[in-house]
Amino acid sequence: MKKKFIIEGLGCANCASKMEDAIKKLDGVKDATVNFITRKLVIEGEDDKMPEIIDKAAKIVKDIEPYTTLKKA
Amino acid sequence: MKKRLWRIITGAVLFAASIIIEFYTDWFVIPLYLISYIVVGGDVLLRACRNIVKGKVFDENFLMAFATIGAMFIAEYPEAIAVMLFYQIGELFQDYAVDKSRKSISSLMDIRPDYANLKRGEEIRRVDPDEVRIGDIIIIKAGERVPLDGKVIEGRSMLDTSALTGESVPREIEPGSEVLSGCININGLISVEVTKEYDESTVSKILDLVENASSKKSRSERFITKFAAYYTPVVVITAVFLAIIPPLAFRGETFSEWIYRALSFLVVSCPCALVISVPLTFFGGIGGASRKGILVKGGNHMEALAKTEILVFDKTGTLTKGVFNVQKIQPEGITGEELLELVAYAESYSSHPISNSLRQAFGKDIDRSRISDVEEVLGHGVIATVDGKKVMAGNVKLMDMMNIDYNDTEHAGTIVHAAVDNKYAGYIVIADEVKEDSGQAIKDLRQANIKQIIMLTGDSEVAASKVAEELGIDKVYSELLPGDKVEKVEELLSRKSENGKLAFAGDGINDAPVLARADIGIAMGGLGSDAAIEAADVVIMTDEPSKIASAINISKMTIGIAWQNIVMAIGIKVVILALSAFGITGMWAAIFGDVGVTILAVLNSFRALDVKNL
């Protein structure tokens, strides 16, 4: 399953790549990309683990850049 | 943005006031400095604390806070505030530049339809394109964007496809024509039956492709990410050594001097300029190319395109139109019109492309009552009675079989010989035509330093070499079966140089295996063909081969800008690090090494958007 989000307030390119790396390492995630320019986060993961993955991803994003919000695209 | 600007201005005014006051009295100056410091850099301090609590050091905020507080400890108050101020202004500029480039890139891709006029019964409602289902009827007014792919059921109009193809000539549409989402309806009102849901529509597919292209990273991008991962820790550790070792090792060196130098190091250690410069450039290049109707599916493919050494073309449909036309009529004993009429009639029951083009050249309706006794001789031709005359039309084998003396001739294309009442009546040549811009395409490719241009075809050698000669192609392999094409490409792959790449351009439908085998698969005429978009690395939306050279030129420029950014960012940072280590420059230069370089890199990457003349 693929889910898309927009990270509003994403301001730092290095942070974007940190987020990408951290989310990729989550359990059940097949692939994840954070596009700094479009501010899009795309997570591809196992269907049954998806809700958990999304929660954790939201936390990672907030941790790295506190002034952002994750929105459904 | 506004709020930040005001805070910076307030802080700057306070800071200026403190400096002026310091001229007259020392009293109250330090608290004033502290206040202006907090006004200017409060948010940075806050974020730095937050990150420390979470155990994350080494981010930009931490480094800035640490460097400026450090400067205050060695009593460099004005310096600390100025540095923080400069940093904030730089950040503001940087955000502005990034925002601006985000906007110009997204305006490039501003082809997303906002709404659809859905017709249910007599009622017309404005809905989200997402809500429209296959089979629904939508109304598209003049000036509106086509929201979903479909078929026209009512109305005539002109369609502007430039957003998808870069093609400025509008396309005429009438009932039965297909319309693709993303195009703009220029004048008439049309009703369209939707054939694809929004997610599957052309516009969604293209946007998806362009946006996801940046996830396929180029070598330069991987290099810079890797570099950045080592760069920051190395600089920070060096800074620590710099602060401690020289004052201990050398007599007369003070801690405050060396700590100051080390703090400058920390400021330059932020990797943002490095990390942002490359993807932004690629995004610009890919976005710009898409505006010209060229979809490049990733930074890696762009890199490969820029290194193309051998370009292999498929002939039919790529360099030639793939439509067969009557090129020559050579009658014997009758007029050319008679010959064409008789042959068109004789062939009128066949649905072969050759027969179709004969009928098209004849141009009049076929009166079936004039034909009788049609006999098709498989692989040879056809024998029929037209107006009471026995007409034979076919290849030389048919003529041999029927013992007819014929004019043996060689032409590029298919030759249809004809005989009337057992007497030879001449021949008609039918051939594919070279596309208008094929010649230009080959010239442009040579100019782009492509070493070898090769053509593969299933056609006869005569037909192939005529096209090759006309266009100036280096080498032709003809009479290939579809499987042979893969083999030929493999053979050519083994012959190229180590770093050079081989690109194959074909129509994307019949050539899918070859597209997959080549280093870069370029599909032509991708507009409306999902198969082509799926199979290739680069999709040319129109069927103009000259766009291949554009794609290569855009790629070369993009890669060039990306490397410029890398060299510039690393170069400036290294120079500033060296200068600060020797105490030649201070924290001011260090700030430039951080935000200044980022701004320069962002501005430089803007250039990748300008692909008009490539």
Query: Would you say domain B322-433 falls under CATH 3.30.420.40?
Result: no
DSSP state of B146: P
Q: Which of B50, B102, B225 sits opposite A66 (nearest CB)?
A: B50
DSSP secondary structure of B155-181: --EEEE-HHHH---S-EEE-TT-EE-T
Looking at domain B133-196, its CATH architecture is: Distorted Sandwich (2.70)
- B496 vs B309: CA distance, rounded Å: 7
Alpha helices in B402-460 (DSSP H): 438-447
Q: How far is B562 from chain A (nearest CA, A)?
A: 15
Chain B residues in contact with A11 by the CB 8 A cut-off are 95, 98
Res B558: pLDDT: 93
Q: What is the pLDDT of residue B25?
A: 75
Parse chain A into domains and list their residue ranges: 2-72
Q: Which residues in chain B have Cβ-Cβ distances shorter than 8 Å to A39?
A: 102
- Write the pLDDT tens digit of every residue in A7-49: 888 877 778 888 888 999 999 899 888 888 778 888 988 888 8
Mutate to test the interface with A, among B92, B104, B215 (most CBs of A within 10 A): B215
Between B105, B211, B272, which is nearest A12 by CB?
B272
Percent of chain B at pLDDT above 90? 21
Tell me the residue type at B508: G
Residue of B518, B567, B559 whose CA lies nearest to B538: B518
Alpha-carbon dihedral of residues B155, B156, B158, B159, nearest 10 degrees?
A: 40
Here the ipTM equals: 0.73
Please state, in angstroms and rounded to a whole number, the distance separating the CA atoms of residues B393 and B390.
10
Nearest to A35 among B95, B211, B276 (CB): B211
Q: Which residue of B has its CA nearest to A13?
A: B276
Question: In this predicted structure, what is the pLDDT of residue B1?
Answer: 65
**Domain residue ranges in chain B:** 2-108, 133-196, 216-280+556-609, 322-433
Supply the CATH classification number for the domain B216-280+556-609.
1.20.120
**Minimal Cα distance from A31: which residue of B?**
B215
- B-facing residues of A in 13-72 (CB < 8 A) are 13-17, 33, 35-40, 42, 63-64, 66
Contacts of A58 (CB under 8 A, 6+ apart): A70
- Contact yes or no for B283 and A14 at CB 8 A: no
The set of residues, in sequence order, having a beta carbon less than 8 Å from that of B196 and lying 6+ positions away, is B134, B148, B149, B150, B202
Q: Exposure of B367 by Cβ count < 10 A (0-12 exposed, 13-18 middle, 19+ buried)?
A: exposed
**pLDDT of amino acid B556:** 94
CA distance B149 to B134: 10
Whole-angstrom distance, CA of residue B442 vs CA of residue B131: 46
Q: What is the DSSP letter of B254?
A: -
Q: Kindly report the CA angle at B530 between B139 and B299, in degrees rounded to 5?
A: 115
Mean pLDDT per 10-residue interval, chain B, length 614 residues: 81 85 78 85 84 72 82 81 84 79 71 87 88 91 91 90 78 89 89 90 81 77 84 88 88 83 84 80 86 87 93 87 83 88 86 79 85 83 89 87 83 84 90 87 92 87 85 89 84 88 83 86 77 81 89 94 92 91 84 85 84 75
Contact residues, chain A, for B299 at CB < 8 Å: none
CB B579 within 8 A of CB B287: no
Catalytically annotated residues of B: 314
CATH class of A2-72: alpha beta
pLDDT at B57: 63
Q: In the prediction, which pLDDT does B56 show?
A: 66
Residue with tokens 């460099």: B76
Name the DSSP letter for residue B145. Answer: B
CA distance B212 to chain A (A): 8
The pLDDT of residue B23 is 80
Distance from CA of B591 to the nearest CA of A (A): 16
Query: What pLDDT score was predicted for residue A12?
Result: 76
| Nearest CB partner across the interface for A35, out of B54, B98, B214 | B214
Residues in chain A: 73
Is there a contact between B445 and B453 (Cβ–Cβ < 8 Å)?
A: yes
Question: How does B571-582 read in b/e, with b if 16+ C-beta sit within 10 Å?
Answer: ebbeebbebbbe
The total number of residues shown for chain B amounts to: 614
Question: How far apart are alpha carbons B146 and B173 in whole angstroms?
Answer: 13
